[in-house]
Amino acid sequence: EVQLVESGGGLVKPGGSLRLSCAASGLTFSTYSMNWVRQAPGKGLEWVSSINSASSSIYYADSVKGRFTISRDNAKNSLYLQMNSLRPEDTAVYYCARSPTGRLDYWGQGTLVTVSS
């Protein structure tokens, strides 16, 4: 059974940093592209970033470009999101999701990031 478990969320002040992790099990992690998707309270889904299996293709939403960095460690079956210069509008539940080809087929349960003074 595929499992994706996010961690690392919490309360952080504006301008601060946070590193999210996503631990994968039940899949050959190294063969799949992975994504981060977020959802602000009461709002819709917003894609944040994608990384392919070899970390050779990386994409970011304009809203986080230059502040967030996606990475992965295939040996540890783990996906990461380094978030710097956090803003109140980054407050959201952050989900990691697997994407075989053009679809997000497995999602984690999410981790809440709150940016507030």
Partner 1 sequence: QSVLTQPPSVSAVPGQKVTISCSGSSSNIGSYYVSWYQQLPGKAPKLLIYDNNKRPSGIPDRFSGSKSGTSGTLDITGLQTGDEADYYCGTWDSSLSAVVFGGGTKVTVL
Contacts with partner 1, residue ranges (CB under 8 A) = 35, 37, 44-47, 50, 59, 61-62, 95, 97, 99, 102-110
Nearer to partner 1, 47 or 78 (CB): 47
Choice between 17 and 28, CB closer to partner 1: 28
In the complex, the smallest distance separating the C-beta of residue 27 from partner 1, rounded to whole angstroms, is 14
Q: Which is nearer to partner 1, 77 or 99 (CB)?
A: 99
**CB–CB of 107/99 below 8 Å?**
no
Under a CB-based contact definition with an 8 Å cutoff, are residues 105 and 98 in contact?
yes
CA angle in degrees (0–180, nearest 5) for 35-39-43: 145
Q: Which amino acid, 46?
A: E
CB of 50 to partner 1, least distance (A): 7
Task: State the DSSP code for 27.
Answer: S
